[in-house]
A and B are shown apart, each in its own frame.
Chain A
């Protein structure tokens, strides 16, 4: 079982070579963070409290979102798997004596780790320097935030893996991406914190897997009452449930897909 750690390390190293892209990414995430924060500051200076959120909470969530955006990749980029299904290169992946999902999970977690440490963390630091963010007070709380980020990365992978698996049936997954790449960010609380929507709507969105990639980690960092069960443990349980459920679903669909696969191309 040494293969998965090896793939994980390769994934980490692969993305560490694009240094200029990482710096460009931090710049872009920070700019977007500042724009979104300015809008929410303008809003909250007119309405100091909306559904339990105040200005500090909202601005903090903006930067949690910008820090996690690349790690959980809700808006993409897609896994290379989809293109490999389209070109038939997936045949090579299936020949390997390891599980298809395990291989891609290890590779993607490598990417996610690099992105969280070298892209997410600097972006969040920019936020703490420029704005008055609400931060956890204890080390234990920070550790729980880290666990939540790890679970968010797994859910982010599982969602993208499921999108790409659809390629076994419809061949070109760009259409799927066009839809989920737009709806996912709304449901994740990236467009606006979910607290700004009517409670009935945000209640439903919070329970969906996309919220567990951004909104729930943000609420865990803020220590919000609105988490399932009203506590951080409830939020982590929801995330763990989605991570496990989506991975099981992914494993099952993989077995169905590989039984019907016809490798195209030459």
Chain B
């Protein structure tokens, strides 16, 4: 093996060169690390199976609660059972996907406390990618799949006037929703750079946001809807896409053009979250342990 070291290695690419390489490398590293962790966790197959099952049960239990509430109420704010399940399913699908791709970032405080963030900083891979793939939990697919199935069933039972525009715009809405949810996850976790024990406070926007978006937002009143449209853009995860699909006017009287704003909000939210992450990382001082 000695001659491997003697041979001059490939020259490092210039920093701003090869744009394709610059974009594709993080994705490749992400996939590689995620795959490595998935294999590592699969070493306890009984646990992996139970955890996946448990995650699925959690997703099903949440939608079951929505089902029970709508069965008792008949309709909430003019939304029928099927439409209520569509909102819950779609929001759950977007949050679950974001959680799978990005959710591990909430372990940031733990990495700071134990000093493992220092180790990540000296490795030649973005620390963000290392954190979000750390103990990457394939079991979270157990949440995505039931959410997808429920969304599918609800779509089938809802009376939707499918136009070409809707078919083309639906994937855009889905991707934007996932991006917004992921940005909220990242931004919430960045709080831990400033207050290490704040993990639970972040839960009130991440898991709390997920709980909030499971029901037609209008039941919370206009104040809350305005806040989750303009401050923490949770309204674009689930609620606005469903209003668009069902051709409903916004029950709280917000402009209908908002439903087309998803992609722009997604870009804004991701930029803000990325800036917050940079800010936190710059401010970070190792605990020294």
Contacts and interface: CB of A to CB of B under 8 A. Distances in A.
Contacts of A185: 61
Given A32-B211, A174-B51, A196-B68, A27 B204 contact: yes
Interface string A1-33: 000000000000000001111011101100110
Interface of A is mostly: helix
Interface in B49-65: 49-55, 57-58, 61-62, 64-65
Interface in A147-200: 170-172, 174-179, 181-183, 185-186, 191-192, 196-197
Interface string A41-76: 011001100100000000000000000000000000
A252 B191 CA distance: 45
A172 B197 contact: no
B198 A20 contact: yes
B42 interface: no
A43 B73 contact: yes
Given A31-B208, A47-B72, A175 B61 contact: no
Interface string B243-254: 000000000000
A248 interface: no
A24 B200 contact: yes
Contacts of A182: 54-55, 57-58, 61
Contacts of B51: 174-175, 178
A262 interface: no
Interface in B75-101: 75-77
B68 A192 contact: yes
B57 A183 contact: yes
Interface residues of A, number: 38
B197 A175 contact: no
A46 B73 contact: yes
A43 B195 CA distance: 37
B136 interface: no
A175 B48 contact: yes
B47 A18 contact: no
A215 to B, nearest CB: 15
Nearest to B71: A196
Interface string B119-145: 000000000000000000001000000
A99 to B, nearest CB: 28
A39 B79 CA distance: 14
B212 interface: yes
A35 interface: yes
B215 interface: yes
Contacts of B61: 182-183, 185-186, 191
A115 interface: no
Query: Size class of B's contact patch?
Result: 35 or more
B53 A179 contact: yes
Contact of A196 (B49, B72, B195, B211): B72
Contact of B54 (A20, A31, A32, A175): A175
Nearest to A31: B204
A39 B197 contact: no
Contacts of A171: 44
Given A35-B208, A170-B46, A175-B46, A18 B54 contact: no
B158 interface: no
B218 to A, nearest CB: 9
Nearest to A39: B215
Contacts of B5: none
A38 interface: yes
A179 B54 contact: yes
Interface string B193-210: 001111111011000100
Contacts of B75: 46
A178 B212 CA distance: 23
Contacts of B49: 175
A20 B215 contact: no
B197 A42 contact: no
A217 B167 CA distance: 50
19 contacts: A20-B196, A21-B199, A27-B201, A27-B204, A32-B204, A32-B211, A172-B47, A174-B51, A175-B50, A177-B54, A178-B54, A179-B53, A179-B54, A182-B54, A182-B58, A183-B61, A191-B61, A192-B65, A197-B68
Given A43-B76, A183-B57, 10 more contacts: A24-B195, A24-B201, A27-B200, A28-B201, A28-B204, A47-B72, A175-B44, A185-B61, A196-B69, A197-B68
Q: Which 10 residue pairs spanning A and B have beta carbons closest together?
A: A178-B54, A175-B50, A175-B47, A24-B201, A21-B197, A178-B51, A42-B219, A20-B197, A31-B204, A182-B58
